[in-house]
Amino acid sequence: MPPLMEVDDLRMHFFTRDGVVKAVDGVSFALEAGQTLGMVGESGSGKSVTALSLMRLVPEPPGKVVSGDIRFKGESILRMSEKEQGRLRGDRIAMIFQDPMTSLNPVHRIGRQIAEPLRLHKGASKKEAWGAAVELLAQVGIPQPAERAWDYPHEFSGGMRQRAMIAMALACDPEVLIADEPTTALDVTIQAQILELMREIQARTGSAIIMISHDLGVVADIADHVLVMYAGKAVEFGAADEVFCRPLHPYTWGLLESLPRHDADDGGRLSPIKGQPPSLINLPSGCAFSPRCAYATERCCSEAPHLVEIDSGHSSACHFSADKDFLNRSPHSATGKL
């Protein structure tokens, strides 16, 4: 049986006046029902574009899938007609966006916005859909849902709006839920509540989640598998425990190192990854991370590494990931922190 969702060497490029932006340049993963995949990386590493590509929400032009495939239950989404894609979207595959402040329509009532996918995909009557919307609001923890469904988005707080967004995404019991930084715009206590809510939902509905975040803590909290992205490429992929405890790629090391820690022995000084992510129009030759990598060699600057499986189910795109001596130099090798 094919996996629920499968992305195969996806390349989404943007053809702009300044050149070709390789926003997603060779990303592959598979997602099984009930699993959570965490996608991490700096801003501009291609996480969001990957997510939008899965929904076919990238405006084309300027975007264009130059190669690769996205399959849902073995069927290529890219080869579907627009109508068929529309039938999947919001029904089988739903998405939660980053900014709940701007992602809800300001002139429609919350209840109507949540009811809309039901009216569209399930052919529910206005009344049925409204009832279901109230029920969904209750499920995501909105108090007095019957009254609050009549509210407009500006009458909701940020956390409530994100709950409403989640209710909207859940309306049709999607099999895949894509969450693009669902907690980034929220304050910390609300973040924890939203993550808890998503975990609950997954336990109840068994849907697969793709959780995109630049917050490693969030991903460590919720994900079964982790995909680390850099400059549009997947640089490390594996089970969450593996990636966090035995990271193989120097970029992942850097990400983990730059987390603030409680048990730091150097007075709590942060150690960020030096330099800036590269321009996606003009990528460095060889490994895209090489200019910022403390361990880069001449080979790194000329020869681009491919994502190869190092341990079972744990792959990395670094020439040296298979080298035990090299891994011992990792700041994580001794302790397996986090």
Partner 1 sequence: MLAYIARRVVQMIPVFIGITVILFLIRSPAIVPGDPVRMIVGERAISQALYDQVVKENALDKPLYYQYGRYLTRLVQGDLGDSYQLKRPVTHILFEKLPNTLKLALVALLIETVIGLAAGILSAVKKYSFWDMLVTLSTAILVSVPVFWLGMGLQVLFGVKFKQWGLPYLPVYDMTSRDFSTVVHFIMPGFTLASASMAYAARITRSQLLEVMGQDYMRTAAAKGLSRRDVIWKHGMKNAMIPVVTFLGMDLGAMVGGTILTEMVFNWPGVGLEIYNAIQLRDWPIVTGGVIVIVFMVMIINLIVDISYAFLDPRIRYTKAVK
List interacting residues with partner 1 (CB under 8 A): 55, 57, 82-83, 86-91, 94-95, 97, 99, 102-108, 116-117, 120-121, 152, 154-155, 165, 168
Three-state secondary-structure class, residue 259:
coil
Q: How far is the CB of 55 from partner 1 (least distance, A)?
A: 6
Alpha carbons 186 and 316: distance in angstroms, whole number = 32
What is the nearest approach in angstroms of partner 1 to the Cβ of residue 106?
6
CB atoms within 10 A of CB 281: 12
Tell me which residue of 269, 246, 226, 265 sits closest to 330, measured CA to CA.
246
Q: Which is nearer to partner 1, 165 or 211 (CB)?
A: 165
Q: Which is nearer to partner 1, 31 or 55 (CB)?
A: 55
Q: What's the CA gap between 96 and 177, in Å, rounded?
A: 8
Query: What phi and psi values does residue 22 have, to the nearest 5 degrees?
Result: -90, 80
Nearest distance in Å: CB 219, partner 1: 22
Residue 229's SS3 state is: strand
**What would the DSSP string read from start to end of 91-134?**
TTEEEE-S-HHHHS-TTS-HHHHHHHHHHHHS---HHHHHHHHH
**Nearest C-alpha neighbor of 118 from the set 102, 106, 131, 108:** 131
Compare residues 39 and 51 and give the one whose CB is closer to partner 1. Answer: 51
Query: Least distance (Å) from partner 1 to the CB of residue 254?
Result: 31
**Alpha carbon distances (Å) from 197 to 24, 99, 159, 209, 218:** 30, 17, 12, 13, 13
Q: Supply the minimum distance, in Å, between the C-beta of residue 108 and partner 1.
A: 7
What is the Cα–Cα distance from 131 to 59, expressed in whole angstroms? 34
Give least dist CB 73 to partner 1, A.
17
| Minimum CB distance to partner 1 smaller for 54 or for 226 | 54
CB closer to partner 1 out of 30 and 57: 57
Taking the least distance from each CB to partner 1, the nearer of 87 and 332 is 87
Query: Whole-number minimum distance, CB 314 to partner 1, in Å?
Result: 32
Q: What angle do CA 83, 89, 90 make, to 5 degrees?
A: 130
Identity of the residue, 63 or 247, whose beta carbon is nearer to partner 1 in the bound complex = 63
d(CA 11, CA 50): 9
∠ at Cα 169 (35, 40), nearest 5°?
Answer: 50
CB of 175 to partner 1, least distance (A): 14
The residue (of 105 and 258) whose beta carbon lies closer to partner 1 is 105
